[in-house]
Amino acid sequence: MTNAPPLRDDCFVMPRGVKWTPVEEALEKLHKSLKNITKTSVIPVSKCCGRILAEDVVAQTNHPPFSNSAVDGYGFALSALPDKGEIALKLTTGRSAAGNFYFDKVPAGYGLRILTGAQIPDGVDTVILEEDVNKIKDIIYFNSGLKKGANIRAKGEDILSGSTILQKSKKLSPADLGVLASSGVKTIKVYDQLKVAIISTGDELVELGNYNRKSQIVDANRPMLKAQIEQWGYTILDFGIVGDEEALIESVLNEASRTSDIILTTGGASAGDEDHISRLLSQKANLQTWRIALKPGRPLALALWNDIPVLGLPGNPVAAMVCTHIFAFPAFSFLAGAGWLEASGINVPAAFSKNKKAGRTEYLRAKLNADGHAEIFNSEGSGRISGLSWADGLVELKHNTESIEKGNKVKYIPF
């Protein structure tokens, strides 16, 4: 008879008798706990890329602002021409070019040289391609069969003045700036940029180049996560590395909650002797859950500190990055005013086979091969940060999935 527990040799095995929260339930709890930002600013269109609209945007002008030619060719009134056979059309003097409008009316039964982008003058309702005519002196010859309005971009055919062109909560792309400029919009109202406080915890952590003793390691999480969050378009408030002292951590959390919209911590979210984040959040904040049924990253704190949401991420770099994509991304999006947007993926064939335990969601570092199939990194260890650099996304294996065979469809989530 022995008092020792059975050996399971799997750090991700979930202890018996513990309530493990599925990823979907944790996301739902997180969503319900958040309130989006209401402060707004009015900024020039030239500065708005990556910002989130706080109201619908209405076009101030038509696009195109006037009817113009889509081609180099010749314009005329189609109704004045025969509808069958070959047509000989005399050209009037002058031409219409982009930026140089032909102010006279084109007489019925005459044609006018017209270039791409030129405003359509009075008396013209159709343009023929120059490649479709034979020009001899001041007469062009071509076959009938054109439709009225051919090769003309009509005024407002793309965007009408007064119409809604972009909707509230849209995150603005470079192409959106082109739409705004083409519609005569000079300034827009956007939500203020989300401010994300980021804190690393642990006596073992140091900044690059600042080793003091052999047991310390470089903090890789902050530079990695800061770069990712900035790439998403949010403002970082960096509170650095905080040692394993509850009073100090509490002080930094208080300061971060006064200046940020959400706090992201790494390390100390589990249940060990030095896991001060989870203990503080349990004692002094509205800790919702920190046992998430996922791999990697099950110790995840979801809480409110002075009414500011806190995401306590695991300290291992891979787990921290995975949880940032799965939990922080939709939380940031919602808080910033863009709505709750979970990391999206596509279904692709697996280039691997794998067995997994039911009852937890797994995220594997992955990349697409030349055939568009998902390959996975050769190790699932959450300390193997090299796998993040190797990968260009994650493969998600759902809660109740137990096996994947080569060729099965899996959800691939690109970074």
The class of domain 23-38+193-336 in CATH terms is: alpha beta
Q: What are phi and psi of 363, to 5 degrees?
A: -120, 120
pLDDT at residue 289 tops 70: no
In this structure, how many other beta carbons lie within 10 angstroms of the beta carbon of residue 117?
16
Where would I find the beta strands (DSSP E) of 67-216? 68-69, 73-76, 86-96, 110-114, 126-129, 134-136, 139-143, 152-153, 164-166, 187-191, 195-201, 205-206
State the span(s) of the chain assigned CATH 2.170.190.11.
68-153
CATH 2.40.340.10-classified regions of the chain:
346-414
Q: Where in the chain is the domain with CATH 3.90.105.10?
A: 42-63+157-191
Average pLDDT over residues 235-246: 93
pLDDT in tens, 300-317: 788 889 989 999 898 889
Q: Where in the chain are all domains bearing CATH 3.40.980.10?
A: 23-38+193-336
Q: What is the pLDDT of residue 12?
A: 44
Tens digit of each residue's pLDDT (9 = 90 or more) over 36-79: 877 999 999 999 999 999 999 999 999 999 999 999 999 999 99
Output the pLDDT for position 48. 95
Please check the confidence at residue 107 and state whether its pLDDT lies above 50.
Answer: yes
- pLDDT above 80: residue 186: yes
Top-level CATH class of 346-414? mainly beta
Q: How far apart are CA 282 and CA 372, in angstroms?
A: 45
Report residue 369 as tokens: 């091969």
* Model pLDDT for residues 76-102, shown as the tens digit of each residue: 999 999 989 999 999 999 999 999 999
375-388 average pLDDT score:
90
Percent of the chain with pLDDT over 70: 92
Mean pLDDT for all residues in the chain: 90
Tens-place pLDDT, residues 126-146: 999 999 999 999 999 999 999
CATH classification (class only), 68-153: mainly beta
CATH topology of domain 42-63+157-191: Molybdopterin biosynthesis moea protein, domain 2 (3.90.105)
Q: Which of 307, 233, 309, 231 is nearest to 265 (CA)?
A: 309
What pLDDT, in 10s, does the model give residues 326-350?
A: 999 999 999 999 999 998 999 999 9
- Is the confidence at residue 149, as pLDDT, over 90? yes
Q: Please tell me the predicted confidence (pLDDT) of residue 290.
A: 65
Residue 330 CA to residue 50 CA, distance in Å, equals: 16
Give the model's pLDDT for residue 14.
Answer: 47
Helices 276-284 and 246-259: crossing angle in degrees, nearest 10, is 70
Say what the pTM is.
Answer: 0.84
